[in-house]
Amino acid sequence: MIASEAISRRSLMALLIGATMTAPFTARSEVEATPPPLSSATSQFIELRPLVEAPALKLERIDGKMIGLRSLRGKVVLLSFWATWCPPCRRELPLLERLQQILGPRDFEVVAVSVDREGKSAVTAFLERASVTRLHPFLDPNRSVGVTNTENGTSPFVLYGMPISYVIDRQGRPVGYITGEVDWTADEGLAFLRHYIADER
């Protein structure tokens, strides 16, 4: 009888210890798999599911160079649509320039796409006024990359508001978007982007 009680106590202790050891591990794994929260003054980050690789879109940089979106695979890309006539966009663009400097070019790329109808002339004048010299924006005056409705099947990047930023993972898949001005250089913004930079799957 005494031996049976001892075995039962040992079994109970083993179960309790096992539960104590495995529960924190599971909770930690769930936290790591989930990006930290990110919000702007008007919205929060919206995740896209299922994850699908973006099509082979070509982007025209302000210097005339054409760059394929797929050429940036292996990096996390912040694809941000903006315009010179949009006050929140004008405030956010210098922050995007600083963000690129903070996170560096090896694992991360800011792709700031202007949707100004006037194209290069409007963007160049704004960059001079804003003293933005290291960030080289892209031009999309015809809205072929940033589309204004979901009926256009050539691009997954719908302009639900301005500014709007899409995060693209290392595999070239848009993981979600956020509308409104975001301070990407603040702790919240940096932690959010570093979550995807650290994920090399």
Residues with Cβ within 8 Å of residue 87, at least 6 apart in sequence: none
Residues with Cβ within 8 Å of residue 6, at least 6 apart in sequence: none
The pair of structure tokens assigned to 47 is 């995740």
Q: Residue 5: pLDDT above 50?
A: no
Strand 164-168 and strand 174-179: pairing?
antiparallel
How far does CA 69 lie from the centroid of its chain?
14
pLDDT tens-digit series, residues 28-74: 343 457 899 999 989 999 999 999 999 999 999 999 999 999 999 99
Q: Which helix (H) or strand (E) covers residue 181, if one does?
A: none
pLDDT tens-digit series, residues 119-170: 999 999 999 999 999 999 999 999 999 998 766 567 899 999 999 999 999 9
What's the pLDDT at 85? 96
Q: How far is CA 163 from CA 80, 93, 115, 195, in A?
A: 7, 10, 10, 22
DSSP-derived letter for residue 39 is B
C-alpha–C-alpha distance, residues 16 and 162, integer Å: 53
Q: Where are the beta strands (DSSP E) in 36-163?
A: 46-47, 58-61, 66-68, 76-82, 108-114, 138-139, 146-147, 157-158
pTM score: 0.82
pLDDT bin (cut points 50, 70, 90) of residue 7 is: very low
What's the pLDDT at 152? 58
Q: Residue 199: pLDDT above 70?
A: yes
pLDDT tens-digit series, residues 16-30: 334 333 333 333 343
C-alpha–C-alpha distance, residues 187 and 185, integer Å: 7
